[in-house]
A = this chain, B = another copy of it.
């Protein structure tokens, strides 16, 4: 007799994702599966596309969820828009910018690299200097660096891209649905995200959007797209009016995505951004009142993912194990260059709540105390409460 219990503890998810999802989204997962060309399913795919256009703030026809995790969307953008020998401006100020660089490299493009210290945004002056010196087809950029908690200011870079006619591929994995993303107003060529962060759905899908100009440029490639699975021309034939079979779309995940997107519509985008910002501010106020330090300076902080410097003398692994085992609380550790230096605390989607902010402050305060690092929890909670107007 084999057990039919999946042994998964109920966690409080406050890392970089996945995050907790709303019961309505769990419920949507059990909607009966139907075929990928069922007329009822094609309607659902259309609704997913329509709802995603709202969160991307775009009219792009080629907008839907790529059949894989966020990284599949990243690869879809890179593999479609970049071909061997293309001149690409790659901006790296964190782990995911570097992942983009690795993908662009695998397309055998000619890379010009701009780097920035992890925890700082990309400097538009460096972008301008590069664009003046060279003619690029594409610039790759991370809007919300999940590894550092930096929100990249877009104004200068979109002006430069427009001026020099460079297509922007933007990583919105940790911003879409939690922070403003203006696909059309910013003139983005392609953007991708994931289902499990600010959108509030389980992982497994990757919202993507390609501008008409980007789709056109794919049609004019000299070499075929190296990925058949993620070829946007083939995906678009399935998503669009032709309805040509491409892959067996996961109805299960798309039901959940649609439900999560409907909940965004009900809340309203601006309200949702405000909620993410308020809970972020409360967390920062609390964390700083505990005497901890944020990695990122105030003007570049991402409201959805908070990076906190680990105080000297604290054993990161032991602390996070304690949180997990004692409170069932997951927070993220540092990635790459920041490994062992920061904690990453996600407040995204359904997880962006006052309850989570206050719970985190209590738990981290206790965990630090156990390692001999005293903090003033009452001060931390008061500071958070005053932001929350509670």
Contacts and interface: CB of A to CB of B under 8 A. Distances in A.
Nearest to A264: B2
Interface in A172-220: 194, 196, 202-204
A386 interface: no
B6 A229 contact: no
A358 B74 CA distance: 47
B40 A8 contact: yes
Interface in A336-369: none
A106 B228 contact: yes
Contact of A226 (B15, B17, B227, B266): B227
Given A99-B228, A204-B253, A31 B4 contact: no
Contacts of A39: 324
A322 interface: no
A75 interface: yes
- Contact-size category for A: 35 or more
A324 B133 CA distance: 61
A29 B30 contact: yes
Interface in A109-129: none
Contacts of A324: 38-39
Given A68-B68, A106-B225, A204-B253, A8 B31 contact: yes
A370 interface: no
Contacts of A1: 266
The 9 tightest CB contacts between A and B, nearest first, are A204-B250, A202-B252, A68-B68, A203-B248, A75-B229, A69-B247, A29-B29, A6-B31, A226-B226
Given A7-B40, A38-B324, A203-B249, 13 more contacts: A3-B262, A4-B259, A8-B34, A18-B248, A29-B252, A39-B324, A72-B72, A106-B225, A194-B248, A203-B251, A204-B252, A226-B226, A227-B227
